Every structure is written in structure tokens, then in C-alpha cells.
Structure 1
Amino acid sequence: MIQQHLTQNLEQIQTPEESICPNCSHQGLSIFYEVHNVPVHSCLMLSNQQEALDFPRGDILLGYCHHCGFITNLAYDPKWSAYAPNYEDQQSFSPTFNKFALDLANHLIKKHDLHNKDIMEIGCSKGDFLLLLCELGNNRGVGIDPSVVPGRVESVAGDRVIFIPEYYDQHHAQYVGDFICCRHTLEHIQPTAEFLQKLRHSIGTRTQTTVFFEVPDTHRVLKDSAFEDIYYEHCSYFTPGSLSRLFRNNGFAVTDLHRSYGNQYLLIEARPVAVTSDKIHPLEESIEQTASNVQAFASKIQKHLERWKRYLQKLQSQGKRTVIWGSGSKCVAFLTTLDAVDQVQYVVDINPHRQGKFIPGVGKEIVSPEFLRDYQPDHVIVMNSIYCQEIQQMLNTMGLMSEVIAL
């Protein structure tokens, strides 16, 4: 039954020859990685197990553009882009993440003199970062996101920030001010050039407006075979080169480009220009380099997946108690790609808004770290290695001797 469903899906999508790159409009993308029958969302919180197990599924067919180096999911269907208040991606319950956000906010405020300025954030989630920018710089803010929950985050800047529970569109041009921020949103948008064109048009003649975007770095995903970072709602995948080309081709000059957060994130800053800029940033890789990385990923990913499958099967055969720490998209991709839902007993998360909910397509109930006191797991698989120290400290505090394993 599943195979028949997959065949239908494959017949409905474009062939590589017919596909058009959303970044540069070049025709013909090469498929190099496939995962079928995965949940179309990872972070929508569901109230019961059956609802989670019955969650809609789709396919991932990653296609590579030989013209600009962009990577996209050719099987992506935008009808599943259903971001709402129950979309739970808030990361600010982690001290590690909070330090990163605080350092980044202070850096941006100092670099761009964001004091008493007007800031707009596209895809503001629950508003943590926008409120932080407004607190630290005494700024005014507008946050646009269909999943925003006004009042979720308490802040002394609350009366200076307006939240709009909508998708960004042309009519939001009235809120363009001194600084535009967009973090971990562009990878959820497939018509990337269309989105950048819309943003550039919204800015108009306000050429002093600085634009700051943050996205996952696909160079790392390819290099490390990080399959856990490939999931359905991430329909667009950027390397430094493809991200910069997108901005330059749509009316922006790239003023800064760097990696952060353990080299997991790409951070780009740009200014609107009237004439197309041809200045290449030193961090950008060539299209040929990206093509080589794509080929290397394709040649080694299957062996990487098999190693993880054998490892999880070994733990299960030995009767080991194995849990995952981190219930977000990486967890969903990890379990569904490996077909390993039955080999992990519980999924832990520090976000209280996730606890007691069920994971789409996986059906596991999310438990709090305190649950592990009684459960006493043998192994804790951490979905993001940057949190290992933080998690190890929590385990030590609870007197647990579990082995921590990072992806």
C-alpha cells in the first residue's frame, strides 16, 4: 500500500528536465537524494497518538541546480505549509541557545547602531528575538508570523512591539523601517527568488535599510551526511554561494556572510541596491565545489544510514533503554528516515509547550527531562551536538549515568 502511494506521488511531480530552479529559474535539476512517506510537518503539536500517526505524509526528492548551486525538494507541495499557533519551534528554553541569541542581538545592535530604530522581523516565531532586539536597543518592532502567540514571551519591550499573525506579503511594506530580520524562515519558502523580489519591492527607495537573514548551512549537511537536517518543511537548502547569488540577483548587495552556532547556521547581511552587485564574498564556494559536495553526499549517504540502522538494532537486541533528546524536526527526520520509531522508547524535550504532545508521523509522546529520573535510560541520543554539555549537566544533576551519543 505504501509503495503504491509513493508511485502515485512520483508520477505527480515534475521530472528533472521539466523542473525549474526557484532560485534562478534555470530549467532541469538533478535528483540526488530521496526519502519517501515522511510527515509533511515536524513541529505541529498534536494532542493524541492516533492523530499523530495519521498525520499527512509526503516525499523528499532533493534536486540540485547546476546553474546556481541551489537545492530544493522537487516533491514539495505548498498546500502543506500550514503554520499556526500550534507550530512549536521555540528554542529559548535552552541556556545554550539563549546565549547565542543574546550575543547575536548585541552584535547586530552594536554593528548597525540599532537604538531607537524601527525593526521588522519576518517569521518571528513566538517573538523571542525581536523582543530581545527591542529590549536591548530601545527599539520598536513589528513581528510577522502565522504561528506567533502574542503574550507568550514576557518582555519590558512588549508595548513597543506589534505582532501580526500572517504570512509576509506586499501589504506589509508599510512596516519596513531601519532593519529587517528573517531567521530560519527562508528555508521554508520554495519560491525563493519571488520572495526576495517581493521584499526588495517592499523596501523600495529606502536603501539604508539593512536586511539580515539566518538559515541552516547546507554545506555542513552535505559534508557531514547530516540526513537529520533534511525534512519536508525545509523545501529550500542553501550553501554560502547559492544564498549570496539569490540576494545579488534580486536587488541586494551582500555586505557580510559568515557561519555561526557550531557552523550550523549561515548568517547573511545585505543592502538594497539599484544596480546589480557582482562582488563575491570570500566565504562563497563555486558552483563546481557545491556539485562535488553533492556528489560526495550521494555516494556515501546510504552507508551512513546503514551504520545508524545497525547501531539502533544492536541497542534494541541488547535490551538497552534508548531515548532521544530533542523532539523537533531533527528527531522526526532521524526516526522516519531510518524507519526506527520502534527502536527508541521515549523522546525528551525541555520545551514545556511540547511536553505531553505527540510527534507528527512518529506518534511518540514527548516527555520532560524529569521523566528520565525514574526511567533510567542507558543511552541518550542527542539530536544536536551543540547541546551535549548542557544535557550532560542535566543528567548529572539527576544522578543519571546514561551514555550521551551525539549525531
Structure 2
Amino acid sequence: MTTCRLCGSTSLAGVVDLGATPPCERFLTAEQLAEPEVTYPLHLRVCTGCWLAQIPPLITPEDTFTEYAYYSSYSASWVEHARGFVRDAADRLGLGRGSFVVEVASNDGYLLRHVVERGIRCLGVEPSQNVGRAARESGVPTLTAFLGPETGAAIRAEHGPADLVVANNVYAHIPDVIGFTRGLRALTADDGWVSIEVQHLLTLMERNQYDTIYHEHFQYYTVASARRALASGGLSLVDVESLPTHGGSIRLWARPAETAGEPGERVAALLAEEKAAGLHELSGYAEFGTRVARVRRDLLRFLVDAADRGRTVAGYGAPGKGNTLLNHCGVRPDLLPFTVDRNPYKHGRFTPGTRIPILPPERLAEERPDYVLVLPWNLRDELVGQLSYVSEWGGRLVFPIPNLEIVEVNP
């Protein structure tokens, strides 16, 4: 990759090179274990022109999202987060029965179900056929489509302009960030709002969250680079919130540029925080690779030592981030014989690259491992409660990010 996808600069500096991995959501069937597996370089770079961190678009959204393994509703805390957002957004924007809400990348209707419950007209725009079908079956109107300027204009022509457009955890997934942003603007009423949630590059780097770098995530935002990306499609950033989700996210509030007005104080405050951390200059990215290498060594040291001592380790979860971690660390079934996941879609399949079996959650109680390696560490508070039963046989939880931590849980 030699050109920034946002500003066109050819000045791109390496941040961290994670080698080559397969796409993180391409879970293998038993039959596919005997077949070759394609891997792609995973090298994060930052543009010194606009400070957008990015990886090359080596796979397309169509490769990943036409049939997708992730269903948002399997996380109770994420559904509750969505419920709170809908409540607060309705209060903030005065949304009611005469309003229209669109969510882009609406998944299985985890968020819009709360909009439906309020009697507010809504539409989900979801590219994945399987999860979009699940949304429709749950009563959430959903269009199967990828968003671009033409799709946005067509939806607006058929349904009218949206008072609120929501794009949670999708702004990083689009290689054509300018076209996607123009699609958001096309959907939005001239006096409407856009709300975007995306992981904050500041916390990703401060907390060693490198496992959220994978081929589905084409770019990684600071407030500064997000403001520039929004402007590329005719939107202006007017407010920003810091959120604990996904280890540290930002919620961007934007409006059409012609009606937006001046940004609020929280925008200036987070821009200053990023600048103080060095993320608006190259020096702030210099030590990240060293910290990533330490996470890898610590996890491997723990797993090898556990095996040498005859202790058993099982995984919990099969998230995309977990597959970056496992592949980068070179973990195979000799060190992690299996992992479990609540999503039935993944049961009987194998993690990409590392080929670790994925089993139903009940297998933990059957196998009673000494340690449970928690791969979706971003759901820590939820999972510590869910997995309290491992204490019944003296099991402990292991969190690999931001630093290796072994946790005893109470029943």
C-alpha cells in the first residue's frame, strides 16, 4: 500500500507488522482442514498527512460480509448498550412516532429492535444475508445491501430522509471511506444527525489492543482523522463521547456541513488528549510494536509453562480479535485444545489459521480446565459473571490484553 485512502498522501509509516493471517471470520469446516488456507499480510501503517491508521484492502467487504459469522445479539451487554443508546438518542434528538431512523450495518437487529419497540419507523441496511434474515425474522425491517452514495440516495428516495443515521462498529470496515461517508450524507435529512461508534486508536495503542487489528478493519481512527473522514462526505463533527465499549471507543455525532455549526468542547478536549499522546505526529507510534511483542511473549510463556506443568487450558469465545491474537502468537491445539462460543454457527468449526476446535459452552463444565483463556476481553465485566462457575473446580480466568492477568472468580 503506497497511497492513503483518505487524503491520497504517499507518506505512510509502519506502526506494527503482525505477519500474515487468514481473514479472521473465515471459520473452517472439518472438510476444509485438508485444504490450503490463504493468508494476507497484516501490517498497520499511519498516514503522516492526515494521521489515518490503515491496512491495505487485500480482501473486499463482499468477501467477508455476504455470509457473516458474527451475531450481535449473543452479547447481552452489547444489546443493553444498544438499548441505552436508543433511549438517550430519542431524548436528545426528540425522536418519536413521526421520526425515521436508519442503521447501517444493522446486523441481526440488536439495536433497531429497541427503535421498533418505541413505535419509531426504521430501516436496517445490512450486507450479510444470514444475519439480515435473522433481523427480519425478529420484526426489524432490513434491506440487504452495502452502503454507498447510490444506495443512500435510493433509500432516501423510497423512504424519505432519516432524522438519525446510526453506524456502529462499521466505519472501520469500509475501504472506500469517502464513498461510504457520502452514502451516510445521502441518507441524512438536511437537519438530521449521524451517530458513529468506532474504536478509538488512542485506547487501542495505550492498552495494547492490537488484536483488534484484522483484515475486516481497514482503518483505525483518532478524533482528528475521523473528523477529516466525515468532512470528505459532507458531514461535520459536532460532538464526541468517550465510551468503554470494545476496550475504548468514541461516539461521533455529526451533521450535514451546511447546518452543523461549531463543534462542542468535548471535541477539542479529545483532540488535545490525542495530541498530548503524540498521535498527531510520528513519534507517538514508535513504541507500539515493542509492547505488542511483549504481549505475545507473555501469552506464549504462560501457555508453554501450563503445558509443562500438566495444567489444562481452554479458550472462551471465538471472536475476530481472538484469531488475530492466536495467529500472531502461533498458538495451536497443543497449547489450546479447544475454545467454546455461544454462537451455534461456529460450533463444529475451527479457528482460521490456528485450527482450534470451537465447541458449545457446556464443554467447559464437562472438561473442567485449570485455566480459561478469555479471548473477547472487551466483555470482561459480563464474562466474569457468566464464567463464575469455573471456580467450582478451582479454575481461573486468563485475560491476555492489555497485559497477561490470571483472575480468580467467585461462585
TM band (smaller chain): 0.7 to 0.9
Report the CA distance shift for 1:179/1:247 in structure 2 as closer, same or farther (over 3 A). same
- Is 1:179 the counterpart of 2:179? The answer is no
Tell me whether 61-70 or 141-150 shows the greater mean CA deviation: 141-150
Pairwise CA distance, 1:58: 0.4
Supply the RMSD in Å over aligned alpha carbons.
2.6
After TM superposition, what 4+ stretches of structure 1 lie above 6 angstroms from structure 2? Answer: 275-278
Distance in 2, matches of 1:53 and 1:401, equals 39
Pairwise CA distance, 1:328: 1.1
- Aligned ranges for residues 297-308 of structure 1 at < 5 Å? 297-308=288-299
CA deviation string 1:70-94 (max 9, x = no partner): 10013x3144741346412113223
Tell me the residue number matched to 1:337.
328
Amino acid at match of 1:164: L
Contact 1:127 1:148 in 2 (8 A): no
- Aligned ranges for residues 344-383 of structure 1 at < 5 Å? 344-383=336-375
Distance in 1, matches of 2:152 and 2:182, equals 14
Alignment TM-score, normalising by the size of structure 1: 0.85
Distance in 2, matches of 1:103 and 1:139, equals 16
Q: Secondary structure at the match of 1:115?
A: coil
Amino acid at match of 1:119: V
Contact 2:323 2:351 in 1 (8 A): yes
CA deviation string 1:123-174 (max 9, x = no partner): 1112221222222x31122212221434524887x2xx43222211313323
- Aligned ranges for residues 155-234 of structure 1 at < 5 Å? 158=139, 161-169=140-148, 170-176=150-156, 177-200=162-185, 202-203=186-187, 206-234=189-217
- Is 1:266 the counterpart of 2:245? The answer is no
Work out which of the residue numbers 109, 113, 127 in structure 1 matches 2:109: 127
Q: Paired residues, what number?
A: 382
Tell me the residue number matched to 2:383.
391
Distance in 2, matches of 1:148 and 1:260, equals 29
Contact 1:248 1:277 in 2 (8 A): no
Instruction: Give the gaps of 5 or more residues in structure 1.
Output: 1-13
Distance in 1, matches of 2:289 and 2:258, equals 40
Report the CA distance shift for 1:203/1:87 in structure 2 as closer, same or farther (over 3 A). closer
CA deviation string 1:281-321 (max 9, x = no partner): 32122398213431131343223322222222212222221
Pairwise CA distance, 1:29: 0.4
Amino acid at match of 2:106: C
Q: Secondary structure at the match of 2:64?
A: coil
Tell me the residue number matched to 1:35.
18
Q: Secondary structure at the match of 1:364?
A: coil
Distance in 2, matches of 1:264 and 1:49, equals 38
Tell me whether 212-221 or 42-51 shows the greater mean CA deviation: 42-51
Distance in 2, matches of 1:264 and 1:52, equals 39
Contact 1:30 1:64 in 2 (8 A): yes
Contact 1:45 1:357 in 2 (8 A): yes
Distance in 2, matches of 1:155 and 1:132, equals 15
Contact 1:254 1:281 in 2 (8 A): no
Tell me the residue number matched to 2:124.
143
CA deviation string 1:233-260 (max 9, x = no partner): 2111112221122223432221221121
Q: Secondary structure at the match of 1:319?
A: coil
Distance in 2, matches of 1:277 and 1:222, equals 31
Pairwise CA distance, 1:195: 2.2
- Aligned ranges for residues 78-117 of structure 1 at < 5 Å? 78-79=59-60, 81-84=62-65, 86-116=67-97, 117=99
Pairwise CA distance, 1:341: 2.0
Q: Secondary structure at the match of 1:335?
A: helix
Tell me whether 357-366 or 235-244 shows the greater mean CA deviation: 357-366
Report the CA distance shift for 1:218/1:253 in structure 2 as closer, same or farther (over 3 A). same
Tell me the residue number matched to 1:5.
none
Work out which of the residue numbers 380, 397, 402 in structure 2 matches 1:404: 397
Report the CA distance shift for 1:199/1:91 in structure 2 as closer, same or farther (over 3 A). closer
Report the CA distance shift for 1:27/1:105 in structure 2 as closer, same or farther (over 3 A). same
Pairwise CA distance, 1:275: 8.2
CA deviation string 1:84-119 (max 9, x = no partner): 464121132232222222212211122112222211
Contact 2:317 2:341 in 1 (8 A): yes
Distance in 2, matches of 1:199 and 1:390, equals 32
Tell me the residue number matched to 1:328.
319
Contact 1:115 1:138 in 2 (8 A): yes
Distance in 1, matches of 2:276 and 2:129, equals 37
Pairwise CA distance, 1:194: 3.1
Pairwise CA distance, 1:375: 0.5
Distance in 2, matches of 1:107 and 1:276, equals 20
Contact 2:238 2:262 in 1 (8 A): no
